[in-house]
Structure 1
């Protein structure tokens, strides 16, 4: 049965135990500062310690980064103090589980992946088709590739190895075999469905055997399209659209993740669609959308209203 104490009492008890364990005065002061700050955040959210979830911890650390411009080492120190406090609270049955157990920060900051805005992506995908018949056919294939990369966040190898039997047009789902031969099911949009269906009408003309095991994307000779060929076609179609972007398949995957997360805020769902085994890999996409941040601020903060 969980024991009921208020936050200040719990922190005081914990710090006394740390002092008995001969922790230095400097360490105790840092513990008190870091943990009390987090508990104050919980109090503002009207959260009891037993109700804290991983999402609350993530929100708190994001708040500290955005407002105090903390270094990675400061964040690690802060998280370490909170993790130790919650571990102690769990062992003492002040909370049923420790949400900080599996929460990790990357030791080295990773640069954000380059992004292309939605308007630029649309400019590439909605560009006019070429004039010659052969180029029109190649465009239909390339557009299907581009649409799937952006619609479903597929890796290059996943597009290359996609087979006809992996595409469920009725439910608009793809069966993807990703890293480590792990299989996942991801949705694809209506635009991508239309593009793939248009391409498959051309498919038999390129001597492609329309059988379930066949690759979806092939060359004009009917052979499976290679990874380098896909990269070159993606780059070419961006250039043809007049876009000054070094477009490659992984960049479209980045755009998918960023735009999905920006509009949904559902990190777990984006993780599933990307096929990330670890949520921290997906968290690289949780960079600040400053336009949205300003909009939320203007709507939510009592002192933000513009007269």
Structure 2
């Protein structure tokens, strides 16, 4: 069996497991790059630890990619290797599938002043301003990932008990409570939606009344970063700020 044949079976398995389109796209992008490196017609039994390590060096040296990004690309290949091992396609020591070391930058959460400045960018005087403020408040209050914001449905909001049903990574669901300020903000936004003609079940919509996409949220943050004092803001930093504030609230 060639590496390409194994890749096709692997992708079918990921679809069978119900992985999201985003996850499938991630595996496809990273593994095709790996196939280009080792050769799609390579016999799968020839895959070894050295090829895995050489691939990481190749990516880091031949492309303008930092080491943290190299690890992101290599992580997909590591999943592929492990799947091959447990399916008995290869016989290697999977404990030696080490990712390239990278010095991670210290992530500094948003300060209280930065959070206030961020939320003050948008008002409830317009539907888009209200929508954007609602997105930011829920990301800060509930620690939502970018993809979780996109997937939120109106029926995922429990107003009586003040929680969201989140469909997260790996099709896993979790229940996340939110505060009274977020409750009032969501209600304000839904007042705008009730006056629109959209039949969409999605919570967050574009100006054309279509569900927001990942690019919608990325463009929102691209505009936010243009404001002085908010240049370092990105989606996952809000989740990190939530986690930090949650921990601090315990003490």
Q: Is 1:234 matched up with 2:221? A: yes
Check 1:251–1:128 CA distance in 2 against 1; reply closer, same or farther (3 A cut): closer
Distance 2:115 2:131 in 1: 17
Instruction: Give TM-score, length-normalised by structure 1.
Output: 0.45
Q: Does 1:244 align with 2:230?
A: yes
Deviation at 1:147, TM superposition (A): 0.5
Contact residue 150 and residue 204 of structure 2 kept, 8 A:
yes
Q: How does 1:1-307 map onto structure 2 within 5 Å?
A: 110-127=104-121, 129=123, 136-209=126-199, 214-237=201-224, 239=226, 242-264=228-250
Instruction: Pick closer, same or farther for the CA change 1:230–1:207 going to 2, 3 Å.
Output: farther
SS in 2 for 1:176: strand
Structure 2 CA distance, aligned partners of 1:206 and 1:234? 25
Count of aligned residue pairs for this structure pair: 151
Alpha-carbon separation, structure 2, partners of 1:224 and 1:165: 14
Between the aligned partners of 2:245 and 2:135, the Cα distance in structure 1 is: 18
Structure 2 length-normalised TM: 0.54
Q: What are structure 2's unaligned runs of at least 5 residues? A: 1-100
Between the aligned partners of 1:259 and 1:238, the Cα distance in structure 2 is 22
Q: Which runs of 5+ in 1 are unaligned?
A: 1-106, 266-307
The RMSD of aligned alpha carbons is: 2.4
Q: Determine the C-alpha separation between the residues in 2 that align with 1:157 and 1:223.
A: 16
Instruction: Answer with 1 or 2: which has the greater Rg.
Output: 1
Q: Aligned partners of 1:226 and 1:138: how far apart in 2?
A: 15
Contact 2:142 2:177 in 1 (8 A): yes
Cα distance, 1:144–1:128 mapped onto 2, change above 3 Å: closer
* Contact 2:114 2:230 survives alignment (8 Å): no
How far did 1:148 drift? 0.4
Cα offset for 1:123? 2.1
Provide the C-alpha distance between the structure 1 equivalents of 2:130 and 2:225, rounded to a whole number of angstroms.
14
Change (3 A) 1:204 1:243: farther
TM-superposed CA distance for 1:158, in Å, is: 0.5
Aligned equivalents of 1:202 and 1:186: distance in 2?
24
